[in-house]
Amino acid sequence: MSHHVSIIAYDGLCTFEFACAIELFALERPELGVHWYSHTVCAIEPGPLRARGGLTVQVPHGLDALDRADTIIIPGWRDLADVPPPALVEALRAAHARGARICSICTGAYVLAYAGLLDGRVATTHWHYLDDMRARFPDIAIDTDALYVDAGRIVTSAGSAAGLDMLLHIVRSDFGAEVANRVAQRLVIPAHRDGDQAQRVARPLPTTGVDTIARLMDRVRETIRAEHTVASMAAEARLGTRTFQRRFKERTGLAPLGWLVRERVALAAQLLESRPQLAIDAIADLAGLGSAESLRRHFRAHGLAPPGRYRRQSHERAMS
């Protein structure tokens, strides 16, 4: 049986967040060659439900449909001070107790907080509401600068668009990097932004009409095996070293070498999944990480399984 995703709907529905969940989990994707998700949309109250933008939504299922959910998505919430209905709270607590994964987008974290499912956990929400959440729920360890936080069976994301990063992270966890990358290509969004990338990143428009940092990033990806240093990248961007580091951080939220390592780790993970005949040393070399030992060290630092186990797990996912 496929992994079943239930998407919560409510009166006052946050339209963008809801659409993100529908786009990721409700569309059939036969081109991926995997047993894709099944889904239901579950209303927490009688409809038709009003959605932002003047829309109305008619939902065929109620909260009883959560009983068979492997993953539950809460796409935002209508009002920070609105305590969720007791039936929803109890349904979420029961789902969590039986092992379901529950994920919130943006202010959907408030639903989890009111249900007590974030107490003692690390979580996040949109940066605009962080102080409010801290004041209302002092038992939550709030990460003030994360795009999303994966705390095991509870996953929370920052503002609306960061929900897409979180949902792709879920796809990557379930199906591996190759499938997640192909889904990202269909959505025309970055394939991988780590959860601990900054929420608030200054992104000034380039004054010359050319985004030199973005062009440099593309060139580095094309030559990722080369020995790139801060000095060499700054020279290619025709910037002084300090200016380059400042502008790179403003553009991406990451230091240049930190970004480079993450690009290499992501490529190595994709190669482990898609090139089973390649030795791990060869993959480390192709990804610019030098050796199998270096690859293992960087995988460990990024919270990934050792390369050999990562490859076996990706093969098991593909066969299931």
Domain ranges of the chain: 4-187, 212-253, 258-319
Q: What percent of the chain has pLDDT over 70?
A: 92
Find all residues with CB under 8 Å of 248, minimum gap 6, and list them. Answer: 213, 233, 254, 255, 256, 259
Rounded to whole angstroms, how far apart are CA atoms 15 and 228? 43
According to CATH, the superfamily of the domain at 4-187 is Class I glutamine amidotransferase (GATase) domain (3.40.50.880)
Is the pLDDT score of 319 beyond 70?
no
Beta strand segments in 44-197, E: 49-51, 55-57, 71-75, 101-105, 122-123, 141-142, 148-150, 154-157
Q: 10 and 45 in contact (C-beta within 8 Å)? A: yes
Is the pLDDT score of 205 beyond 70?
no
pLDDT, tens digit, 9 for 90 and up, residues 135-194: 999 999 998 878 899 998 999 999 878 889 899 999 988 988 888 888 888 887 766 555
pLDDT, tens digit, 9 for 90 and up, residues 117-134: 999 999 999 989 999 999
DSSP strand pairing (4-9 vs 38-43): parallel
Mean pLDDT of the chain: 87
Sign of torsion, CA 98 103 109 110?
negative
Is the pLDDT score of 196 beyond 80?
no
pLDDT, tens digit, 9 for 90 and up, residues 276-293: 888 999 999 999 998 999
Give the residue carrying structure tokens 């036969």.
30
Q: 174 and 317 in contact (C-beta within 8 Å)? A: yes
